Amino acid sequence: MLQGWIQIALTLLIVVAITPFFGRYMFRVHTEQRTLLDPIANPIEKLLYRLIGVSGKENMTGWQYFRAIVYSNIVMMLLLASIIAAQGFLPLNPTQVAAPTWDTILHTTISFMTNTNQQHYSGETYLSYASQMLGLGFHFFTSAATGLAVGTAFIRGLTGRPLGNFYVDLTRSITRILLPISFAGAILLLAAGVPETLAGPAIVPTLEDPNVSQAIAPGPVAHFEIIKQLGENGGGFFAINSAHPFENPNSFSNLVAIVAMISIPTSFIYTYGLFANSKKQAWLIYGLVSVIFLVFLVVVAIGEYNGNPTVNTLLNAQAPNLEGKEVRFGWAQSALFAAITTGTMTGAVNSFHDSFMPTGGFVMLSNMFLQIVWGGQGTGTAYLFAYLILAVFVTGLMVGRTPEFLGRKIEKREVVLASFLILLVHPIAILIPGAIALAFPDQLAGISNPGFHGLSQVIYEYTSAAANNGSGFEGLGDSQPSPFAIASGTATSPTALWWNLSCCFSLLMGRYVPIAALLLLADSLSRKQQVPETVGTLRTDTGLFTGVTAGVILILGALTFFPVLALGPVAEAFQIGRG
């Protein structure tokens, strides 16, 4: 047990040590200060700006910024859909796989464009190398950079600056943050044993019967894997994602994946502190999120270490819950990975989330309900400050002080946008389609586990989609037959059609409606005149206010979904405990 906790502690210490350096670097990038990459990046960026007709000095309003995101995303979605639909005729297709069904193409396209990467297919049997590298790999960069751009624009508006230019923020996020780190990370993964090849599947005899052959699919995985984690994308090259030995062969590659997942969202809080000229407040907020994260991590880790009481009774001994886990990672690294991948909205998995104890399911769902522990790429920090704005308003009402944040008054428009963002969009995107699926468990949901766990499976799927996470509890009939099966006459599944189309609703609503609200909120704050600080000003860089913010997060965020948690993982935990 001690060894597992030491592994967790050392990993988190590395993350904390990286935070100020990486946070300062991102601040320099997005304030266009000098960096070491200038000699390489500047000519590339100038060429790109000329090609798309953008001037780096053109600031956008909130609506202009949002329209630029939507227009560019539509073009990129059409490009991805075209590549997947035509993969049977394109090169880099060693297995000669045909196009998937239209609903799978639609869901996959929207999923990867929204930085969710929810997969209702198995990568090695559904998609060619061209679709994986040129299609999905391209969106790994652009969707992650879009989130970073939105987070940066929000922080600018929050601190009274113009929002900036989306195309410039998108380009600089790729050329100066995502691309160089991915290059270095891919080399580390290659050294760890992750393959990077265009060779087709290797045909080898099985261990059980030398006369029976099996196909082992390799692929250009190393470069795909690092941006999958760094960009909080999560979509796996293989069906079992980071549990596959080609994606994540050992403890070192697992460490690289974890640090890549969490480094940007943690460091982005420090970046905010530099924008606001308030490192103290940044570290207080960092501490707030760290405490929530550590509580969640301890809950899931203890649950996995103690194991299943029913199994322990049969064994007449206490044993960790290793069902659905890779032995090379064990209970500790599996629990840490699960807490981070759902907390950062990455969605990659190195173990089977469906097999975690109910406490693990509770934590993973809660992470995605809150979306701020540590939150999505850039947007997670923006969500966090939406909670801070609500905390300022609530505290101002309680103590009779004018609600102000960073010297700008919080008025009706800001409160309405923050409330809409926190209290309405996320629940609607999850609970409405979830209720419809649960009303027709056989016709639509295809639930493999009845009772409390089946409810968790359904709600997890929509929560993952709405939170732009992409991981799954599995156990649902959400995958159409493979192109090989369809070619041989296998009929498509109406249940999979439901999941593909209904999740598209949650994907789109969970991505673009919050982005619009965040940008409008930032635009509104950027236009406000700064109010001089007086003795009546509510200070937001204190431990007391940070504690109030924690209360607001728990009350507004957690209690919204508590009935679902009570009927799902909480009820399941009591059921297992009762035996």
Question: CB 577: neighbour CB atoms within 10 A?
Answer: 10
d(CA 431, CA 369) in angstroms, rounded, equals: 11
- pLDDT tens-digit map of 154-170: 999 999 999 999 999 99
Cβ pair 528, 409 in contact under 8 A: yes
Distance from the Cα of residue 491 to its chain's centroid = 33
In which domain, by residue range, is 18 found? Answer: 2-204+215-578
Three state DSSP letters for 85-103 = HCCCCCCCCCCCCCCCCHH
d(CA 178, CA 344) in angstroms, rounded, equals: 16
Does residue 471 belong to any structural domain of this protein?
Answer: yes
Distance from the Cα of residue 337 to its chain's centroid = 13
Does residue 210 belong to any structural domain of this protein?
Answer: no
- pLDDT tens-digit map of 526-564: 988 887 777 767 788 889 889 999 999 988 877 889 999
Residue 445: predicted pLDDT: 73
Does residue 479 belong to any structural domain of this protein?
Answer: yes
Residue 432: predicted pLDDT: 94
Bridge partners of 203?
215
Distances (CA, A) of 200 to 92, 127, 204, 431: 9, 13, 13, 43
Taking the alpha carbons at both ends of the chain, their separation in whole angstroms is 25
Residue 370: predicted pLDDT: 92
Name residue, tokens 């935070």: 19
d(CA 104, CA 121) in angstroms, rounded, equals: 8
Does residue 209 belong to any structural domain of this protein?
Answer: no
Is the N-terminal amide bond of 5 cis, ω within 30° of 0? no
pTM: 0.94
Three state DSSP letters for 321-348 = CCCCECCCCHHHHHHHHHHHHHHCCCCC
Provide the number of structural domains found in the chain.
1
- pLDDT tens-digit map of 419-446: 877 778 999 999 999 999 988 877 777 7
Does residue 25 belong to any structural domain of this protein?
Answer: yes
Helix 62-85 to helix 137-158 angle (10° resolution) is: 170
DSSP letter (8 states) at residue 35: -
Does residue 94 belong to any structural domain of this protein?
Answer: yes
Residues 6 or more apart whose Cβ sits within 8 Å of residue 481: 490, 491, 492, 493
Residue 579: predicted pLDDT: 60
Where do the DSSP E strands lie in 441-528? none
DSSP letter (8 states) at residue 196: B
| Average pLDDT per consecutive 10 residues, the chain (579 residues; last block may be shorter) | 88 96 96 91 91 81 96 95 94 90 95 94 90 94 96 94 94 96 96 94 85 88 96 92 95 96 96 94 95 96 92 85 93 96 95 94 95 88 89 83 81 86 87 91 75 92 95 85 74 87 95 94 90 75 90 84 93 84
Does residue 318 belong to any structural domain of this protein?
Answer: yes
- Structure tokens of 80? 């991805």
Does residue 237 belong to any structural domain of this protein?
Answer: yes
Residue 95: predicted pLDDT: 86
What are 195-198's contacts with CB under 8 Å, separation 24+? Answer: 195/219, 195/220, 195/221, 195/222, 195/246, 196/220, 196/221, 196/222, 196/223, 198/92, 198/94, 198/129
Residues 6 or more apart whose Cβ sits within 8 Å of residue 82: none
